[in-house]
Structure 1
Amino acid sequence: MTASMILVAVGLLALAVGGELLVRGAVGLARRMGVSTMFTGIVIVGAATSMPEMVASVQAVRAGTPEIAWGNIVGSNIANSLLILGGAALIMPIVLEGRGRRDSVVALLATIGLSAIAYLGYADQWIGAGLLAALVIYIIWRYNHPPAQGEDDTTTPIPNLFASIILFVIGVLALILGGRWLVNGAIEISTELGVSETVIGLTVVAVGTSLPELAASVAAAIRGHAGIALGNVLGSNIYNLLLIGGVTMAISGRSLPPALLVPAWPVCVAAAILLVLVCWGMKKFGRFPALLLLLAFAANTALAFR
């Protein structure tokens, strides 16, 4: 048990450090491309901070435990919507001003689509390929449609290209190792404690792989980059569903675990609806609603272990 806990702790640390380095490198590369901060947050940082979930899920599928992978996907989206957004806004309220409206709808549609696949029990590698194709279409659409008025914010100084590439590469390597250690340790702990692998994926693995999102969103909120803070949450949710869900389905070809049908998927859909309401109905996301999100996340985590 002790060795497994150490393995999980080291894996989480590697994921946190690797995610931070990857984010810095990705943002640097994005700035070199001259794209908006909202696009950077959604497409670049969202993809970068989803790498821990990607690595952990692929490792779980290769280890023969896709339950951890799917639990990680659903749990990470819940953590993004409640823990990450709530934590960032609690430290520094996020000025919305119309940001993320279109992308919150995309995230909601992807959530509903994948939850429908889960409830219908569909399982086919072609479904995974379809999810990946949907992600490609979304990225192309997002790149060809510049931010709506108010979606962009102040830009950061353009960093050194070589340094950005080095940070990106080191971050990816740290994420690969961290994901392997985390999944191996989580499987061992679930076996020793008699806890289902789905619950481990929903909690330990999901929160652990969401640490880069938390670090990136908090840092962005503190620096006043609301586009990156919010875009990171929305982008990560979309990548989790379409990229990681697509890869997991394409590799395993197995249906989503029945244990996630209640209450995980309904909570995930409710969180996606909440993000749409926030993006479309609020000009500023302050500390009080942020605290409510954190309390909701705590309650959901306790419910997972019931």
Structure 2
Amino acid sequence: MDWLMVAAGLVLLVFAGDALVKGAVNLALRLGIPALIVSLTVVAFGTSAPELLVSVDAILDGAPGIALGNVVGSNVANVLLVLGIPALITTLHASGGSDTRSSFLQMMGATVLFMALAFTGVLGWGSGLVLLSALAAMLIYAARAARKHRRGTIDEEEVEGADPKMRGWKIAVYLLAGLIGLPVGADLLVTGAVSIAEAMGISQTAIGLTLVAIGTSLPELATTVMAAIRRQADVAMGNVIGSNMFNLLGILGVASLVGPIPVGADFLGFDLWVMLAASLLLVPFVYWGRDVTRGWGVALTALYVAYGVSVLA
């Protein structure tokens, strides 16, 4: 029954998250908000809504370990699995020249900032404000940088989920489905995950780092697989970098305002460093233009399997 709850929660989160993005994007464009701003804010928040709701629900349910494990585990999975699995299907030709260096440096800055706050022992409302302030600064920087280059201007049709012909009633249905489905799905996933952890005799944090993290990373995996098939290395790499940055600054920023998140010794001594090492594995692709070949795909996927086994052992 617990596994069914987890599966149902994941399905609800994926579909409700997609519905919320479509509804919110089209409502924002209807209200006259520029497409560029919609892409940087509404789409970014909407696509991370499953992780956000899971983390907030976990804290409200007294399981902050799942909230922290969800984000850290998702960032590890985003690099090792979300890039590794598509590379097993087809090579990601990063050597085509993807301009992701600036975003990568911002992601590394967010990672170092989060780790510094984590070593205080508890992520409280003060940490949340610092993380959200950093997110706001990065969004402002991205908006200004995009306006300076024609490539940064985004038409409505190019925004994820945008449909200029969508009727008002349909927008309302999408919004309602997202707003109802996300909290229900998050509650099912967290409740089921906590029960599984108790039944298997492992920590809630370990479940958050593995089962919950993989589940909430499924949308990013689907997006990256499609980008790999279409040979869009920029999209694949940008998806991973943007998701990791928003996970640390946005999701943990909001979650820290909901309630304190204690950071255990295992996190400080192992998991945070694995996350940092996984992030640094992007250097050959971002700076040296290396292709993400099948060999890299095997190596990255194997590293994640080894990490997952070590967490659950």
Which bracket does the TM-score occupy, shorter chain normalised?
0.7 to 0.9
Which ranges of 4 or more aligned residues in structure 1 deviate by more than 4 Å?
20-36, 42-46, 154-158, 163-169
What is the TM-score with the length of structure 2 in the denominator?
0.83
Q: Distance in 2 between matches of 1:225 and 1:21?
A: 24
Q: Is the alpha carbon distance of 1:146 and 1:197 closer, same or farther for their aligned partners in structure 2, counting shifts above 3 Å?
A: same
2:163 aligned with 1:159, yes or no? Answer: yes
Q: Give the match for residue 145 of structure 2.
A: 145
The aligned runs of 1:282-301 (5 Å cut-off) are 282-301=289-308
Q: In the alignment, is the contact (CA less than 8 A) between 2:10 and 2:216 conserved in 1?
A: yes
| 1:64 equivalent in structure 2 | 62
Asked if the contact 2:68–2:261 (Cα under 8 Å) also holds between the matched residues in 1, the reply is no
SS, match of residue 163 in structure 2: coil
Equivalent residue runs for 1:13-92 within 5 Å: 13-22=11-20, 33-35=34-36, 46-92=44-90
Question: Does the 8 Å CA contact 2:69/2:207 hold for their aligned counterparts?
Answer: yes
CA distance in 1, matches of 2:128, 2:266: 20
Query: What amino acid sits opposite 1:244 in the alignment?
Result: I
Are 1:203 and 2:210 counterparts? yes
Question: Secondary structure in 1 aligned to 2:269?
Answer: coil
Partner Cα separation in structure 2 for residue 82 and residue 43 of structure 1 = 26
TM-fit CA distance, 1:46: 4.5
Change (3 A) 1:120 1:52: same
Deviation at 1:295, TM superposition (A): 1.0
Alpha-carbon distance between aligned partners in 2 of 1:76 and 1:267, rounded to the nearest angstrom: 12
Paired with 1:19 and 1:86, the residues of 2 have a C-alpha distance of 24
The counterpart of 2:251, out of the listed 244, 255, 263, is: 244
**Which letter maps to 1:120?**
T
Letter in structure 1 aligned against 2:115 = S
Match runs of 1:223-234 below 5 Å:
223-234=230-241
- CA change 1:47–1:87 in 2 (3 A) is farther
Tell me if the contact between 1:68 and 1:198 (Cα under 8 Å) persists in the aligned partners.
yes
Deviations 1:58-89 (A, max 9, x none): 00000011111001110010011111121233
Distance 2:175 2:230 in 1: 21
Aligned pair count reads 301
Report the Cα offset of residue 285 of structure 1: 2.3
- Give the corresponding residue for 1:109: 109
Q: Is the 8 A contact 2:78 2:220 kept in 1?
A: yes
- Decide which moves more: 20-29 or 100-109: 20-29
Aligned residue for 1:263, secondary structure, equals helix
Amino acid at match of 1:249: S
SS at match of 2:239: helix
1:10 alignment partner AA: A
User: For residues 139 and 274 of structure 1, do their structure 2 counterparts lie closer, same or farther at Cα, with a shift above 3 Å needed?
Assistant: same
The residue matched to 1:94 in structure 2 has which SS?
A: coil
Partner residue, 1:193 = 200
CA contact (8 A) 1:74 1:202 kept: yes
1:44, distance to aligned residue in structure 2 (A): 5.9
Mapped to 2, the partners of 1:190 and 1:90 lie a distance apart of 31
Residue 160 of structure 1 aligns with an amino acid whose one-letter code is: P
Judging changes above 3 Å, is the alpha-carbon distance between structure 1 residues 140 and 207 closer, same or farther for their aligned structure 2 residues? same
Query: SS of the residue aligned with 2:8?
Result: helix
Distance 1:93 1:175 in 2: 34
Distance 2:62 2:45 in 1: 25
* Structure 1 residues 281 and 199: alpha-carbon distance in aligned structure 2, compared to 1, 3 A threshold: same
Read off the aligned partner of 2:218 and give its amino acid letter. Answer: L
Cα distance 1:30–1:236, how it changes in 2: closer, same or farther (>3 A)?
farther
The residue type equivalent to 2:263 in the other structure is L
Contact 2:55 2:67 in 1 (8 A): yes
Separation in 2 of the partners of 1:298 and 1:44?
33
Structure 2 residues without counterparts, runs of 5 or longer: none
> Helix, strand or coil for the counterpart of 2:98?
coil
Which runs of no fewer than 5 residues in structure 1 stay unpaired? none
In the TM superposition, residue 130 of structure 1 has moved relative to its aligned partner by: 1.2
Percent of aligned pairs with the same amino acid: 36
Maintained 8 Å contact 1:75/1:206:
yes
1:305 pairs with one of 284, 287, 312: 312
Determine if contact 1:19/1:51 at 8 Å carries over to the other structure.
yes
CA deviation digits over 1:163-221, x for unaligned, max 9?
79465663454333211110011111112222111101111111111111111221233
